[in-house]
Chain A
Amino acid sequence: MKRGAEVVVIGAGVNGCSIAYHLARKGHRDVVIVEKDQVCSEASCRCPGGFRHQWATEPDIRLMTASIRMFTQLQEELDPPWDLEVRQIGYMFLIYSEDELEQYRANVRLQTSLGIPVRLLSPDEAKGIVPMLNTQDLLGAAYCPWDGRANPWLVTHAYALAARRLGVEIYTGTTVTGLVTSDSRVTGVVTDKGVIEASKVVSVVGVHSPEIARMVGIEDLPIRPSLREVLVTERVMRDPSPALMSPLVGYFQTSNGDVMPGLRPPDVQTMETRGTRAFHGRTARAWINVAPLLGRIKVVRSWAGLYDMTPDAHPIMGPVPGVEGLYMAAGFSGHGFMMAPITGKVMAEMVLGEATSIDVAAFSAERFRGEGHVVEKMVY
């Protein structure tokens, strides 16, 4: 293990690996990632891997547009030994109430104004694209063919491989136990295997962010965990369906043909990633209602993961106030994977003191000191 580096990235999830990769790509190869478990251990390996343009606020839409553009070129850019399964199969938001319809009309107006090809469909039109839909209570659907899915396991490992190829070292099984500061500047990272001196540290640790924040005296970092569960079924080979979402349910079909029906649960704050009986029952019932065909399909596994939630459901991206050289990218509130390409690019730029290719001032940690932040509603 190195005793010093130009940049230490804490966390080898998809965002940590992306940031390290982007730093190295810019020629800064003296970068190490410190990871307490293994590459892709937590949220990165538990998300279904969707990416979408369909957000309700302009900063998010711009960010995702940039990120998704990078996704479409990711295979060539990272050149991994496997297909990343980036597929723009579309996302269809299912609308079941007049209130929602109003919200989606507003969303679609905003998204279209920013150049996103999204349409409001009638129930019949929705069924034309997804024949298995039960249109009984459906009022319509918002559909964007540019949205889609990639394989989060493969993307994360591809970023790690690409970073390593460029000289980044990844230390797994290594836990950060403290940060060394002097005169309000970070000077090093203390791990259970020794100290690494660095003047730039980026914390990308999801639900563990409050722990890192406490190491520099910040006791009230507003990131908290929220439990999510996923079911995975047997392979269902037919034309891949768009991702299906509503305030209640979510559904992704992978390139292998298996499907992941899910459900937005009641908010459960826990650090335990244990599945629950209630989720299995409610998800099955909800999905059989949306698509009766799914009743006979067998579930092969399930897992649980944690969203790292902020009060306004927007991430924290940027310098940690009061500690020079310390940065944070966390609080992705359920859309960290889809932002990984742009997060890597922008955080690398910030760390190196460059102007960021996209304006992320809205995601500064400072905003929680003030009042009245705009909450992103389209979090599932």
Chain B
Amino acid sequence: MLETDVAVVGAGPAGLSAALHASQAGARVIVVDEYTRPGGQYFKQPPAAFRVLDHSAMGRDHQLGFDLMRRLERGQIELLNDTLVWGAFEPGTLEIYRRGECQQVRGSRIVVATGAYDRPMAFPGWTLPGVMTAGAAQSLLKSQWVLPGSRVLMVGTGPFQLPVAAQLVKAGATVVGVLEAGKVSGWLRQVPAVWSHLDKIAEAKDYLGTLLRARVPMMYGWTILEARGSGQVEEAVITQVDDQWRPVSGTERTLQVDTICLGFGFLPSLQLPRLLGCSSRWDPHLASWVTGHDQDQRSSVPEVFVAGETTGIGGHDVALVEGAIAGVRAAADLGLLSAEEAGKRLAGLRPDLARHQGFADFLNRTFAIRPGIYDLIREDTLVCRCEEVTAGAVASAARQWEGNLKAIKRVTRAGCGQCQGRICGQLVAQVAARATGKSVEELGVDTPRPPIKPIPMDALATLA
């Protein structure tokens, strides 16, 4: 049993920021992270054995992460890498799996900063090798320095597609097109919200510049209809969509590609907060549940703070400030900061948070998923990849059992596989909602059970 003042789960920007701020206030901190190198997804690092010759080529995010990591090394923070939090049986106690063994980390306060993952979007052929998330492509590029393919189609919505497309181009791939489901006219109405974020606009301009120079077609109001190929992606059928993102028949075109990157935004990682008893709330723009919290990042469980993408998609700027608030507040809870000092520090952080959150809200509203995209899913399209369950089977079960997600899971096995419902959960909910006329929000959430990621029996055998 490892005991500490503040146990932080996740070494991405939110977790590292929380750790730093708690530690600066005098707290002992243990950071637990699933991956080998800290940084999470936003600040993903190349392997230690790689020597990057030109850091600026890695982008602004990478630079920020690099700085954060250096500050981490100087603090009084213990980082447990390659360590999975798989369960929680008692309040304040995290069950960890590390180096083949199971033990516990107990924190007087816990900060959950488990991040997000790319939103999966289903369509015929989406399971073919060569179809991957934009995050997977970026991870291969930036962290492994490997090209995911040579003729790449970017599909999705939102600004995250731009850096990935630009990085692909710079690495020598042919990007045959960037399909943005939304139309530009919709964005222009939102422009007043972004005046205070000229740095972001400058960044976007850089990426667009790279793409324009490489003559990459930017296609607005377009999306994927189908991926085709024998054994792997060979073609993509694309289509125009209306303003609700419904495919417009008769506008199909076929492109020769070997890789399709899906960039439809992100979904918060909710398993650990839910396991700890933190309540979720429905975010209509994200069309997802997110972990609820107060202005101090405190969840519905008083000893548990939540920061970063698990509370809603906000990007690393929001994550850094939320983490800071959580770290300060946790330290204040433990009496390490006077109420006055804590108040001062928090007051200093809140304007930044408001500013960054405002921009994040703008992005989430502008690039919200429109319901017509789920028209792509046909009866025989798989919605549960692990257990190979079709949308038709899910819809049928939904109609039989009033959309009850548990019943659908038991009767179809959708969600019973190794991804434990992460990939299919919201797709199943969308299909069930359409089949029953209920809203996705009405259908509710599933309770995760331990282990929240698969773990070998011989590791469990080491539990005292």
Contact = CB atoms under 8 A, between A and B. Distances in A.
A–B in direct contact per CB < 8 Å: yes
Interface of A: 38-41, 45, 81-82, 153-154, 157, 161, 172, 233-234, 256, 261, 274-278, 280-281, 283-285, 287-288, 294-303
B392 to A, nearest CB: 11
B268 to A, nearest CB: 21
A274 B420 CA distance: 18
Given A154-B411, A288-B461, A297 B456 contact: yes
From B458, B461, B464, name the one whose CB has the most chain A CB atoms within 10 angstroms: B461
13 contacts: A38-B406, A41-B406, A274-B89, A275-B450, A277-B463, A280-B450, A283-B460, A284-B461, A288-B457, A298-B454, A299-B454, A300-B417, A302-B449
B404 interface: yes
B333 interface: no
Given A295-B456, A299-B457, 7 more contacts: A40-B410, A157-B411, A261-B457, A281-B460, A299-B460, A300-B451, A301-B450
A82 B393 CA distance: 10
B39 interface: no
Contacts of B78: none
Given A157-B411, A280-B450, A281-B464, A298 B89 contact: no
A153 B408 CA distance: 10
Nearest to A41: B406
Interface stretch (B7-15, B44-52, B230-238, B395-403): B395-403
The 3 residue pairs across chains A and B that have the minimum distance between CB atoms: A281-B463, A153-B410, A284-B460
B407 interface: yes
Contacts, number: 100
Contact of A38 (B401, B417, B454): B401
Contacts of A281: 102, 460-464
A81 B456 contact: no
Given A234-B418, A284-B458, A296-B458, A153 B411 contact: yes
Contacts of A298: 418, 454-457
Nearest to A151: B410
Contact of B89 (A38, A153, A275, A284): A275
Given A298-B454, A301-B449, A280 B410 contact: no
B410 A161 contact: no
A161 B416 CA distance: 22
A40 B418 CA distance: 23
B62 interface: no
Nearest to B417: A300
B38 interface: no
Contact of B402 (A172, A278, A280, A288): A172
B458 A299 contact: no
A278 B454 CA distance: 18
B451 A295 contact: no
Contacts of B404: 38, 172
Contacts of B451: 299-302
B410 A284 contact: no
B413 interface: yes
B87 interface: yes
B444 to A, nearest CB: 11
Given A39-B401, A82-B411, A280 B460 contact: yes
Contacts of B95: 277
A234 B407 contact: no
A233 B458 CA distance: 12
B432 to A, nearest CB: 13
Contacts of A154: 410-411
A231 B464 CA distance: 17
Given A276-B89, A280-B450, A295-B457, A301 B463 contact: no
Contacts of B463: 277-278, 280-281, 284
A40 B460 contact: no
Contact of A284 (B396, B417, B457): B457
A283 B458 CA distance: 10
Contacts of A294: 457
Contact of A277 (B87, B454, B456): B87
Nearest to A152: B410
A234 B458 contact: no
A154 B464 CA distance: 36
A296 B401 contact: no
A7 B50 CA distance: 73
Contacts of B464: 281
Contact of B454 (A172, A234, A283): A234
